[in-house]
């Protein structure tokens, strides 16, 4: 699982019918030393499937790979990254 910050959304003209009812977000992964700072390192953004309603600026927990598709079991969805939680507060010691 990764922690990421939402920086935007994706607009699709067509999508797989099994993906109705949610949206796609663009986020950047955060390293542990960036969680308590306002200044974030520029890393490669990635696209995430969101059913929870995260908005730009939110910190989110992201599941990837087989874990991203697990909430839909026994159904199958073509997903590689899934918003598993919207984080209110993160403390790093």
What's the confidence (pLDDT) of residue 90? 83
| Closest by CA position to 87, among listed 30, 42, 41 | 30
pLDDT tens digits, one per residue of 53-85: 999 989 999 998 877 877 777 777 778 899 999
Does residue 26 sit within a domain? yes
| Domain annotation covers residue 54 | yes
pTM of the model: 0.82
Whose structure tokens read 């935007």? 8
65, part of any domain = yes
What is the C-alpha to C-alpha distance for residues 20 and 43, in angstroms, rounded to an integer?
Answer: 29
Residue 93 lies inside a defined structural domain of this protein: no
Q: Is residue 53 part of a domain?
A: yes
pLDDT digits (tens, 9 = 90+) for 15-47: 778 777 788 999 999 887 777 666 666 788 999
Structurally, how many domains does the chain consist of?
A: 1
**Residue 18 token pair:** 């099994």
């Amino acid at each position: 699982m990764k922690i990421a910050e939402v920086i935007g959304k994706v607009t699709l003209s067509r999508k797989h019918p099994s993906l109705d009812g949610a949206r796609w977000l663009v986020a950047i992964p955060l390293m542990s030393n960036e969680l308590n700072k306002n200044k974030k390192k520029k890393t490669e953004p990635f696209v995430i499937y969101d059913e929870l309603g995260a908005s730009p600026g939110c910190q989110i927990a992201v599941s990837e790979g087989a874990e991203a598709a697990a909430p839909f079991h026994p159904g199958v969805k073509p997903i590689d990254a899934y918003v598993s939680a919207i984080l209110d507060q993160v403390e790093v010691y």
